[in-house]
Amino acid sequence: MSKQKQKFLEVSTGEHFTTGNHAAAEGALAVGCKFFGGYPITPSSEIAEHMALRLPQLGGNFVQFEDEIASIIGILGASWGGVKSMTATSGPGYSLMVENIGLGMMTETPCVIINVQRGGPSTGLPTLVGQQDIMQTKWGSHGDFEPIVLCPSSVQECFELAIEAFNYAEKYRLPVTLLLDETLGHMSERLIIPDASKIGKVERKKPKDSPEEHLPYKADDDLIPPMAVAGEGYKVMVTGLTHDERGYPNLNVETQDKLVRRINDKIRLNKKDIIRVEEYKLDDAEIAIIAFGSVARAAKGSVNRARKNGIKVGLLRLITIWPFPDERIEALAEQVKKIYVPEINYGQITREVERSVHGKTEVKGIFKLGGAIHNPQEILKEIEGDA
Amino acid sequence: MSRVEIRFAGFGGQGIGLMGRLVGEAVSLLEEGKNSVMTQSYGPESRGGASSTDVVIDEGEIDYPKATELDYFVVLSDEAYHKYIPKLKEGGILFVEEDLVTIDENAKKAKKIFKIPATKIAETLGSRLYANIAMLGFVCANTKDIFSEEAMITIMKEKIKARFVEKNLIAFQKGMEYKSDS
């Protein structure tokens, strides 16, 4: 980051040449994150390092906890203390966090988790890229919930989607995951941070009724309850047990049905607001590639090269991974004769694409199992081989 | 201008990462209308052994961020030379630290080979640590489509610690002035 622009401002306005990890950290600071709780892990450690430097300058707090379990609980607590909070980790750390990401879903606690993916399972490839945590971010914790997961593919987008992750977390009251990968986290390119006045910030809804009348989990028509936090005079009830509008444990079929339906529907009914994709040269495409993260850049390279060779290929880049853009993909299936899905895993998004197309077109995954991103030529070869 | 790919490589401790960072930054922030992406080898090898950093430059959007076929290969160690020379494209340009790299028949595909005793030049300034910057000066003087002298000097003044700036600027100048005999 350029030196002169970085002194004690939440928003480091200016042009920088920096990494995805630093850009994501700066995005979090720009939208007002004031608490980071985490445990360093490659390839995400630069986020913790940057937050440890920057948060104290801004009156925020940085805590390095004993592990990832404490880290996620710490950021839930910070959120209930009234500040925007986050953590950053990689696959193995995310595995430790999933139980309490579920607690965050059940207690409707706004916070952000950045997962910079490396190759797995287990310790796997600590220093090398993977995209193998797609399903973990969806199904990692037990029970029914609808997560929001965003997936940037440039340094600029790491910054912008960090902001959006916080905004969705605050708006819909849930933990939101920002899914990077090692390539993106560690590569440097231009980042333009706008003026502070241009940063769109969403803050959680506050109760409008009196502390006496207030019910902590009584949702408005949008299915989202206003959130009072500790110290504001309102009752604050936080439990992972099935709870009623008062926040009291109430372990029966009706309460469970009402609560779990609501925390899912608040996301399902707002898919249009949440789902984002980039469409690249799809208008006249006969073949489509669906890709995300750093691999989407290689896919774009394949589209450009294929077009030069006269093959009409387009790219649908997934920016929101969850909720999944089923409808957009089904519409695409009616247009193209084949969809290729390059990803650095053994078919996680490919299976979702197959599910979404309802047999209307052929779907072919191009898998790398971790350690390197596809290069444009590899994807192109696959397409040309079939043509 | 179309896509240009450069790899800097050597062993851990030669400041290979800094070379890539300075070039990437000079291009992205100071060269009008150009984009750059910098990636680094990131693993056990960056703590000893062959270390490398790639810079991709283009006027348009840079899709694939890594190097595929090197237009330029700038190398400061024998191990790195052998590891990466297959990536140099036919007709590419090779820059070598002549006292640390022994080229072989693989270098024949290069359109041009520039040789410089960058470490010896650095030692005249009191430390071999300036070898990377002397090499950058040499690269700057012998290429047209990577970065300009002005941009690099501006970035060095901004990025390098104040007490080392002067010596690095001299190293850069000496690299610029060095005439390769091949």
The alpha-carbon gap from A223 to the nearest alpha carbon of chain B, in Å, equals 41
Q: Is A381 on the interface with B (CB under 8 A)?
A: no
Flag whether pLDDT at B181 surpasses 70: no
Tell me the three state secondary structure of residue B75.
strand
The alpha-carbon gap from B58 to the nearest alpha carbon of chain A, in Å, equals 12
Are A305 and A377 contacting, i.e. CB atoms less than 8 angstroms apart? yes
Q: How confident is the model at residue A387 (pLDDT cuts 50, 70, 90)?
A: confident
Give the domain CATH number at B135: 3.40.920.10
Flag whether pLDDT at A5 surpasses 70: no
Q: Which amino acid is at A170?
A: E
Cα–Cα distance between A290 and A292 in angstroms, integer?
Answer: 7
Tell me whether residue B66 is in a domain: yes
Q: Is B69 on the interface with A (CB under 8 A)?
A: no
Flag whether pLDDT at B182 surpasses 60: no
- Kindly give, in sequence order, each residue whose CB lies less than 8 Å from that of residue B24, ignoring residues fewer than 6 positions away: A17, A188, A189, B36, B37, B38, B55
Tell me whether residue B75 is in a domain: yes
Q: Is A124 on the interface with B (CB under 8 A)?
A: no
The alpha-carbon gap from A72 to the nearest alpha carbon of chain B, in Å, equals 27
Flag whether pLDDT at A4 surpasses 60: no
Cα–Cα distance between A293 and A298 in angstroms, integer?
Answer: 10
Cα–Cα distance between A55 and A85 in angstroms, integer?
Answer: 11
Residues of B in contact with A298 (CB under 8 A): 63-64
Mean pLDDT, residues A149-155 taken together: 98
Residues of B in contact with A300 (CB under 8 A): 61, 63-64
Q: What digits encode the pLDDT tens for the residues A159-208?
A: 999 999 999 999 999 999 999 999 999 999 999 999 999 999 999 999 99
Tell me whether residue B182 is in a domain: no
| Residue A290 backbone dihedrals phi, psi, to 5 degrees | -110, 125
Place of tokens 């936080």: A238
Taking an 8 Å cut-off on Cβ atoms, the answer to whether A2 and B38 are in contact is: no
Q: Is A377 on the interface with B (CB under 8 A)?
A: yes
Are A312 and A285 contacting, i.e. CB atoms less than 8 angstroms apart? yes
Mean residue pLDDT of chain B comes to 94
B35-B36-B41 Cα angle (round to 5): 165
- Position B31 scores a pLDDT of 94
Flag whether pLDDT at A25 surpasses 60: yes
The total number of structural domains in chain B stands at 1
Q: Is A375 on the interface with B (CB under 8 A)?
A: yes
Domains of chain A: 3-198 (3.40.50.970), 278-386 (3.40.50.920)
Q: Which long-range contacts (CB under 8 A, 24 or more apart) does A250-255 make?
A: none
Residues of B in contact with A187 (CB under 8 A): 37-39, 65
Q: What digits encode the pLDDT tens for the residues B43-98?
A: 665 566 788 999 999 999 999 999 999 999 999 999 999 999 999 999 999 999 99
Which of B3, B27, B61, B63 is the best residue to mutate to test the A interface, defined by the most A CB atoms within 10 Å of its own CB? B63
The alpha-carbon gap from A80 to the nearest alpha carbon of chain B, in Å, equals 38
Copy the structure tokens of residue B52.
């490398």
Q: What digits encode the pLDDT tens for the residues B139-167?
A: 999 999 999 999 999 999 999 999 999 99
Tell me whether residue B116 is in a domain: yes
Taking an 8 Å cut-off on Cβ atoms, the answer to whether A297 and B64 are in contact is: yes
Cα–Cα distance between B157 and B151 in angstroms, integer?
Answer: 10
The DSSP bridge partners found for residue A213 are none
Q: Is A181 on the interface with B (CB under 8 A)?
A: no
Taking an 8 Å cut-off on Cβ atoms, the answer to whether B63 and A17 are in contact is: no
Share of chain B above pLDDT 90, in %: 88
Place of tokens 């009072």: A228
Copy the structure tokens of residue A29.
């600071």
Which of A1, A6, A17, A193 is the best residue to mutate to test the B interface, defined by the most B CB atoms within 10 Å of its own CB? A17
Q: Given strand A313-318, what is the order of strands in its sheet?
A: A277-280, A313-318, A287-291, A338-343, A362-367
Tell me whether residue B10 is in a domain: yes
Q: What digits encode the pLDDT tens for the residues A326-340?
A: 999 999 999 999 999
Q: Is B80 on the interface with A (CB under 8 A)?
A: no
| Sign of the alpha-carbon torsion through A250, A252, A255, A261 | positive
Taking an 8 Å cut-off on Cβ atoms, the answer to whether A375 and B25 are in contact is: no
Q: Is B154 on the interface with A (CB under 8 A)?
A: no
A17, A186, A373 member nearest B40 (Cβ): A186
Question: Alpha helices of chain B — where are they, by DSSP H?
Answer: 16-30, 78-84, 118-123, 131-142, 149-159, 162-177
Tell me the three state secondary structure of residue B3.
coil
Cα–Cα distance between A337 and A309 in angstroms, integer?
Answer: 18
| Residue B26 backbone dihedrals phi, psi, to 5 degrees | -60, -40
Are B133 and B120 contacting, i.e. CB atoms less than 8 angstroms apart? no
Are A20 and A186 contacting, i.e. CB atoms less than 8 angstroms apart? yes
Q: What digits encode the pLDDT tens for the residues A268-316?
A: 999 999 999 999 999 999 999 999 999 999 999 999 999 999 999 999 9
The three state secondary structure string of chain A is CCHHHCCCCCCCCEEEEEEHHHHHHHHHHHCCEEEEEECCCCCCHHHHHHHHHHHHHHCCEEEECCCHHHHHHHHHHHHHCCCEEEEEECHHHHHHHHHHHHHHHHCCCCEEEEEEEEECCCCCEEEEECCCCHHHHHHCCCCCCCCEEECCCCHHHHHHHHHHHHHHHHHHCCEEEEEEEHHHHHCEEEEEECCHHHCCCCCCCCCCCCCCCCCCCCCCCCCCCCCCCCCCCCCCCCCCCCECCCCCECCCHHHHHHHHHHHHHHHHCCHHHHCCEEEECCCCCCEEEEECHHHHHHHHHHHHHHHHCCCCEEEEEECEEECCCHHHHHHHHHHCCEEEEEECCCCHHHHHHHHHHCCCCEEEEEECCCCCCCCHHHHHHHHHHHC
Tell me the three state secondary structure of residue B50.
strand
Copy the structure tokens of residue A142.
């037990």
Tell me the three state secondary structure of residue B150.
helix
Mean residue pLDDT of chain A comes to 96
Q: How confident is the model at residue A8 (pLDDT cuts 50, 70, 90)?
A: confident
Flag whether pLDDT at A6 surpasses 90: no
Copy the structure tokens of residue A204.
């959680």
Tell me whether residue B51 is in a domain: yes
Q: Is A189 on the interface with B (CB under 8 A)?
A: yes
Q: What digits encode the pLDDT tens for the residues A201-247?
A: 999 999 999 999 999 999 999 999 999 999 999 999 999 999 999 99
Flag whether pLDDT at A341 surpasses 60: yes
Taking an 8 Å cut-off on Cβ atoms, the answer to whether A3 and B21 are in contact is: no
- Position B45 scores a pLDDT of 58
Tell me whether residue B55 is in a domain: yes
Are A181 and A344 contacting, i.e. CB atoms less than 8 angstroms apart? yes
Q: Is B29 on the interface with A (CB under 8 A)?
A: yes
Q: What digits encode the pLDDT tens for the residues A26-46?
A: 999 999 999 999 999 999 999
Residue of B nearest to A190 (CA): B28
Domain that holds residue B72: 4-177
Taking an 8 Å cut-off on Cβ atoms, the answer to whether A189 and B43 are in contact is: no
